[in-house]
Amino acid sequence: MSDVLVVSEHRRGGLRDVSYEAITAGRELADAQGGDLHVAAISGDIDQFADDLNREGVDAVHAVSNGEEFDHNVYQSAVGALLEQTDAGTVVIPNSVNGLDYAPAVAEAHGLPLVTDAIGFAYDDGLTVTREMYGSKVETTVDVDGDRHVLTVRGGEWAPAEGVGDAPVESLEVDHPESGARVTGFEEVGGGDVDIADADVLVSVGRGIEDEENLELVEELADALGATLSASRPIVDNGWLPKNRQVGQSGKVVTPDVYIAVGISGAVQHVAGMKGSDTIVAINTDPNAPIFDIADYGIVGDLFDVVPELIDEFA
């Protein structure tokens, strides 16, 4: 029997959705292992975070009050301290830039196996983790020895934990080595404050748009729907939209309620970033475009005819 420790993630004052998804993944593991689920909020507004993370199924919340922003040394030390203070043997960490910064260090320091980018678990005699490889073309399973491990979980693969829990909140301050790096501020990489991962509705544009000046058309559709504009990689590579708008393997993973793919073929690297969307609508002239394999609604047609009609309908 081994308890599970989920480490939440926050950025610029807010918990990221993947924190709640990791709680669901952690609960699944705790049930399979017959253990309790601990959740940690490390640095930032820990009182608020501890409150928000106290969802149904959580057995204990740990609030670690060191610092405001992400700090490798604080996270590594805090997770280490929690591993010692609790019966947790499994650590679940978001598979994010921050998570991938400290998860290997935690695994190394505690002699635990590390499996990154998990998209599913099966538990029989031991844990089997499902991962994707080769740009999501292949699914693999990894059998993990023992019942103590560090796992990073991909965003958008588990439903966010819901409900209000009543787990006790325990405060903790950790000793940690002085950091060689500190956060001095944030600078957005073009495109302002937009985080496409937070959008409920995305209108996503691909190479079918042909020319930068035609982007106006999809912007108009996004406005009419109250949606956020995102894009496939070629649009970003062309410099027509900033990098923070890119969906996909080398962009962002998004899970909106509605994803409208306009002139996007549905390459595996793109699909890897949006297949978790609730409802997918695709507009494409090619009836054999792979995007139609995952679309809930497909319109085979020229976007320059279809999009103006949609704008008329919704504006």
Ligand X SMILES: Cc1cc2nc3c(=O)[nH]c(=O)nc-3n(C[C@H](O)[C@H](O)[C@H](O)COP(=O)(O)OP(=O)(O)OC[C@H]3O[C@@H](n4cnc5c(N)ncnc54)[C@H](O)[C@@H]3O)c2cc1C
Which positions lie near ligand X, rule CB under 6 A?
A: 206-208, 232-234, 246-251, 263-265, 267, 269-270, 273, 283-286, 289, 302-304
Q: Any idea which residue has 């990791």 for tokens?
A: 22
List, in order, residues 6 or more apart from 264 with CB less than 8 Å away: 204, 205, 206, 207, 208, 232, 270, 282, 284, 291
**Complex with ligand X: residue 42 or 260, whichever CB lies closer:** 260
Residue 2 or 249 having the CB closest to ligand X:
249
Query: 216 or 302, CB closer to ligand X?
Result: 302
Closest distance of CB 196 from ligand X, Å: 12
CA trace torsion 255, 257, 262, 263 (10° rounding): 40
Residue 231: name the closest of 243, 214, 249, 221 by CA: 243
Report d(CA 218, CA 205) in Å as an integer. 7
Residue type present at position 95: N
| Closer residue to ligand X (CB): 176 or 245 | 245
The DSSP string of 72-124 is: HHHHHHHHHHHHHHS-EEEEEEESSHHHHHHHHHHHHHHT--EEEEE-EEEES
Q: Shortest Cβ distance from residue 155 to ligand X (Å)?
A: 14
Structure tokens at 302: 């020229």
Q: Report the residue number, 172 or 300, with the smaller CB distance to ligand X.
A: 300
As measured in angstroms, the least distance from the Cβ of 265 to ligand X is 3
Find the shortest distance in angstroms from Cβ 248 to ligand X: 2
Nearer to ligand X, 80 or 135 (CB): 135
Measured from the CB atom, the residue of 164 and 189 that comes closer to ligand X is 189
Amino acid at 62: H
Could you give the 3-state DSSP secondary structure of residue 264? coil
> Alpha carbon of 125 to those of 6, 122, 144, 293: distances in Å?
22, 10, 10, 35
As measured in angstroms, the least distance from the Cβ of 147 to ligand X is 35
Minimum distance of ligand X from residue 92's CB (angstroms) = 25
Minimum distance, C-beta of residue 153 to ligand X, in the bound complex (Å): 19
Task: State the angle between helix axes of 215-225 and 303-314 in degrees (0 to 180), rounded to the nearest 10.
Answer: 30
Tokens 């959705």 belong to residue: 17
Ranked by CB distance to ligand X, the top (closest) residue is 248
> Toward ligand X, which CB reaches closer, 63 or 247?
247
CB of 240 to ligand X, least distance (A): 11
Cα 60 from chain centroid (whole Å):
23
